[in-house]
Amino acid sequence: MVAPSGYDSPCGDCLLAPDHALLKDGLGFIAADLLRERCVCILLDRIATGDCSEPQELARAVDFLQRDLPLHLADEQEDLFPLMRRCCLPEDEIDRVISRLLLDHQQAGESAPEVLCVLAKVLQSAPLTLEAQQLLARFTSFARRHLILETAVILPIARLRLRDSDHQSLRLRMMQRRGLDTKTTWPHRRPSQAPPAGKR
């Protein structure tokens, strides 16, 4: 992920959409999305306290909620969770965890449009009402609980239980969802190496 020159986000580069090359590993891409959602929560907290009205940062939060969050929810609901239901062992009790996460997704899907309305008003320099502040606080509090469960429970179990064919299936489905050619290959690079400017 590369930030445009001259732009210095307090969250580093994590507000930018993940590099598509991360789709070599679907779970790695999902982990990057979770990190990004955590950064969006930090940004929404700052907006709620009047600490941020920077249009570029606001636009990145809008991009995430409008474009990338629905993709992320679909990655999990339509592909990762069904794969986990098939691969996990009874002692993982994955059905119970996934049922809880699906309810969270429903709530996130219902709340995101309200948060987007608040961000649109902030972008127009409208003052933030107490109700809007409370809405942002509820959204971030709820999102953080969800992120903890996915980061600490879902991803480690998925890494343990998914087979090579499951990883391949997840990766291809995520690429198709984003309109990418499934034959695309990316050169190997170390995590510390940034992609060329303009490439994602």
Instruction: Name the residues that contact Fe ion, by CB under 5 A.
Output: 76
Question: Closer to Fe ion at the Cβ: 60 or 146?
Answer: 146
Q: How far is the CB of 81 from Fe ion (least distance, A)?
A: 9
CA-based diameter of the chain, in Å?
52
Sign of the C-alpha dihedral computed for residues 48, 154, 68 and 106 taken in this order? negative
Q: Which is nearer to Fe ion, 106 or 184 (CB)?
A: 106
Min dist CB 121 to Fe ion, Å, is 27
**Rounded to an integer, what distance in angstroms lies between the CA atom of residue 70 and that of residue 104?**
13
The nearer residue to Fe ion, 51 or 93, going by C-beta atoms, is 93
DSSP 8-class letter at 22: G
Cβ at position 181, least distance to Fe ion in Å: 27
Residue nearest to Fe ion (CB): 76
CB of 77 to Fe ion, least distance (A): 8
**Alpha carbon separation from 8 to 13, 22, 52, 103 (Å, rounded):** 8, 23, 13, 36
Rounded-to-10 torsion of CA 181, 187, 188, 191: -80
Nearer to Fe ion, 76 or 79 (CB): 76
